[in-house]
């Protein structure tokens, strides 16, 4: 049946999970392109036949006319499927810029048509130039922010430490609110020192939830 192969491409899009990409199906894709060209040559030869019989192409309603119409419509359908296939894939591919970043990992690269690779590159460049024109990074803060601070209690004297633009004195048993990122840096450092067998200090990290303590 005409148009069946092309619809397989769309079924593939439909059955893949949202935001996921199946490998480019060049097998079916090429077959559909071939079908298109066959439809066209059939269409052309039927039209030629009508013309050669000196019939009016506008008004003739014989079997050749309907045959030509079927080939034309099948070609249109194939074209729509091919375009929808590429377009839907392109939408997933452009979403990778936001989800994955400007460089695609190998396993995604492998699934792309050569033109899709180029598309991703050009599209990323367009986003990049928008971002630099606006002077605001849009690739961070993808989810709403939560309180970035956590409460820490210092178990052993650490002393004066510099956290970004200011310094904090981490004395034993003192309580502080530190940015989670700052504190994490610290823990790993402490952990590192610990590994080096220099027992210095430990930070106790609570999730910042005082009520938790009250309950316990």
Partner 1 sequence: MAGQSDPHLSMFSPSEVEFVAEDEIVDIVPNIRMDALNMICGDFGPFYPQIPTKVPLWLAVALKKRGKCTIRTPDWMTVDRLTQVLEAERESPREFQPLPFHYIEISKLLFDHARDDISDAYLQVPIVLKNCLLLVVIMTQVRSLIEDIRDVRFHKVETGLETISGRTHAVKLKNLSAMEVNIVRPFMVRTLQAFYKHDSPQMIQQADTTGSKPTPVTDRGPRRDLRRR
Partner 2 sequence: MSSWDDDESAAVSAAEAATTDVELLRRAWRNEKAAPEILRFDTPLVSRVREQIQLLEETLDDFADTGVDDLVVSLYQMDLDRTLFLLRSYLRLRLQKIEKYTMHISRSDDLLSRLSPQERRFARSCAEIMEKHLEQSVLSKLPYGYDSVTRQSLSSTEDDMVPEPQLDTFVFCKTKSDVGAFQLDDIGEEVVDLVADDLYVLRYKSIKGLVEGGRIDLI
* Residue numbers at the binding site for partner 1 (CB under 8 A): 18, 58-59, 68-69, 72-73, 76-77, 80, 83-84, 87-88, 143-145, 147, 149, 151, 177, 208-211, 214-215
- One of 72, 111, 153, 180 touching partner 2 (CB under 8 A): 72
Q: Give dist(CA 153, CA 202) in Å, integer.
A: 9
DSSP per residue, 48-77 = HHHHHTT--TTT--SHHHHHHHHHHHHHHH
Q: Give dist(CA 154, CA 151) in Å, integer.
A: 10
111 binds, among partner 2, partner 1, none (CB under 5 to 8 A by kind): none
Closest approach of partner 1 to the CB of residue 76, in Å: 6
First CA to last CA distance, the chain: 70
Closest approach of partner 2 to the CB of residue 72, in Å: 7
Greatest pairwise CA separation for the chain in angstroms: 103
- One of 22, 118, 181, 194 touching partner 2 (CB under 8 A): 118
Residues 25-64, interacting with partner 2 (CB under 8 A): 33, 36-37, 40
Q: Which is nearer to partner 1, 28 or 90 (CB)?
A: 90
CA angle 88, 12, 90 (to 5 degrees): 20
């Amino acid at each position: 049946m005409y148009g069946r192969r092309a619809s397989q491409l769309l079924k593939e899009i439909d059955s893949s999970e949202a935001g996921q990409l199946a490998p480019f199906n060049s097998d079916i894709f090429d077959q559909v392109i071939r079908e298109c060209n066959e439809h066209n040559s059939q269409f052309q030869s039927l039209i030629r036949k009508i013309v050669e019989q000196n019939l009016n192409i506008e008004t003739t309603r014989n079997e050749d006319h309907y045959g030509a119409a079927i080939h034309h419509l099948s070609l249109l359908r194939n074209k729509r499927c091919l375009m929808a296939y590429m377009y839907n894939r392109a939408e997933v591919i452009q979403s990778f810029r936001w989800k994955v970043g400007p460089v695609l990992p190998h396993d995604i690269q492998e699934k792309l048509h050569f033109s899709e690779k180029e598309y991703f590159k050009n599209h990323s460049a367009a986003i990049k130039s928008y971002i630099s024109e606006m002077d605001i990074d849009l690739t961070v803060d993808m989810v709403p922010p939560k309180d970035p601070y956590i409460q820490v209690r210092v178990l052993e004297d650490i002393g004066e430490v510099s956290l970004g633009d200011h310094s904090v004195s981490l004395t034993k048993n003192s309580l502080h609110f530190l940015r989670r990122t700052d504190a994490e840096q610290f823990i790993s450092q402490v952990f590192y020192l610990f590994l080096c067998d220099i027992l210095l200090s430990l930070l106790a990290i609570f999730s910042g939830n005082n009520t938790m303590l009250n309950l316990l």
